[in-house]
Chain A
Amino acid sequence: ETGVTQTPRHLVMGMTNKKSLKCEQHLGHNAMYWYKQSAKKPLELMFVYNFKEQTENNSVPSRFSPECPNSSHLFLHLHTLQPEDSALYLCASSQFQGPNSPLHFGNGTRLTVT
């Protein structure tokens, strides 16, 4: 149990579908993140939310749309994705106020775009 729960664990979707990834953290943290992990590439930061406000959008295409209704929940809405978007999408949380606080990750959603 990591304290950060992601659903679904696996998702296969066509390029015309719309789906959402869900993340919930039980650690009392106030910052949440979406990362993309592709094969043979470092973890790529996508979005950061601090106290429900988006503080970072790392030049992510608009076909990815995040939503953070409260400090414990984070969504990533997906639409008209491309095959190259297939990857492991990781959610993480941290205590934002501390500049030196580690991220706590969920186990990710393995996304396959067909």
Chain B
Amino acid sequence: GESVGLHLPTLSVQEGDNSIINCAYSNSASDYFIWYKQESGKGPQFIIDIRSNMDKRQGQRVTVLLNKTVKHLSLQIAATQPGDSAVYFCAENSKRVANAGGTSYGKLTFGQGTILTVHP
């Protein structure tokens, strides 16, 4: 699994299998989490997000699970396809900063990523 700031793990699966990519986060105050996908030669692409008042959120073929007790986030991809091969990043909104107008915003902290390879 992935831990924000550590090594770059890899996951290799067969086409049609389900994939699970894990992420451990460190800040218990984080209240918003995002998964990004980055294909070779491209920038990170938003996949799905989840707020800390939820445990699970589903998208198209993807599900994000949040376990606040152990500070763990996972991304499940159903029926993985070769086009899903990419680096997957989790990000947490761990720091609040106030701008001059008094509106707070969060700063995203990114993990190092997990390389997913899907074999046909």
Contacts and interface: CB of A to CB of B under 8 A. Distances in A.
A and B interact: yes
Interface of A: 2, 4, 6, 31, 40-43, 45, 50, 53, 55-56, 90, 92, 96-100, 102-108
- Size category of the binding interface on chain B: 20 to 34
B8 A40 contact: yes
Contact of B31 (A6, A50, A100, A104): A100
Contacts of B108: 45, 103
Contacts, number: 68
A104 B42 CA distance: 12
27 contacts: A4-B43, A6-B43, A41-B112, A42-B5, A42-B112, A43-B89, A45-B107, A50-B105, A55-B99, A55-B100, A56-B107, A90-B44, A96-B103, A99-B32, A99-B93, A99-B96, A99-B104, A100-B32, A103-B34, A103-B46, A103-B108, A104-B46, A105-B44, A107-B41, A107-B42, A108-B42, A108-B43
Interface string B62-83: 0000000000000000000000
B4 interface: yes
Given A2-B43, A42-B4, A42-B5, A100 B97 contact: no
A105 B106 contact: no
Contacts of B111: 42
B56 interface: no
A107 B111 CA distance: 19
Contacts of A97: 103, 105
Interface of B: 4-5, 7-8, 31-32, 34, 36, 41-46, 49, 51, 89, 93, 96-97, 99-100, 103-113
A96 B101 CA distance: 12
A100 B5 contact: no
B43 A100 contact: no
A102 B49 contact: yes
A8 B5 CA distance: 29
